[in-house]
Amino acid sequence: MNLKEQMDLLSIKDVSTPRQTKNGTVVWQLPIKCGKDKFIEVASFKTGYVRNQNGGYTNYQLNKRCESEPEYYQLANGDYRKYTTRTCKLIPNEKDRLEYLIAYCLKNYYIKNANQVAEGSYVSKWYHEYELERQLTTRVISPKLHNLENKLATIERIASDRNKWNG
């Protein structure tokens, strides 16, 4: 399944402004609300960063973190001290950034916040299993439940295929 099909399946929309597009930034809106009226937005920057875009003061990097190379500085008495910092691991390729964003969003927004999807297309795993069991005991499986089961299986398969981006 290619990236476009995955984004369509997850109802992820491109909401970039013309200026953002010109600068090489792509902003994606998920069908999951954060707060009362606002949907979760994530962005891919041509600099290699991926970020949460849910507010001016709360934007944060979604890139994996790694330790920097050790650096040294000299004290006044001639001794040296070594220190390291944590930095973001940049993703220079746009396709890789989108794959990382899909994997991150599946794990941290779709699966963890399954009950908050705005359209109601996704259901929690326990509710899905309950409804499936109920339908099987009555021996009638509705087309809607069958479609939800197929969609959930596809999402779980995509999530498991993204093991290289877990973190």
**CB under 8 A, 24+ apart: contacts of 110-119:** 110/10, 110/30, 110/32, 110/155, 111/159, 113/32, 116/32, 116/33, 117/31, 117/32, 118/31, 118/32, 118/33, 118/39, 119/11, 119/31
* pLDDT at res. 77: 93
Q: Where are the domains of the chain?
A: 3-165
What is this structure's pTM?
A: 0.63
Give, for all 167 residues of the chain, the pLDDT tens digit: 788 888 888 889 999 999 999 999 999 999 887 777 788 899 999 999 999 988 666 688 899 999 988 999 999 999 999 989 988 899 999 999 999 999 998 888 887 766 555 555 556 667 767 777 777 777 665 666 667 677 777 777 777 766 555 55
* pLDDT at res. 157: 75
List Cβ neighbours of 116 (8 Å cut-off, separation of 6 or more): 32, 33
* pLDDT at res. 135: 73
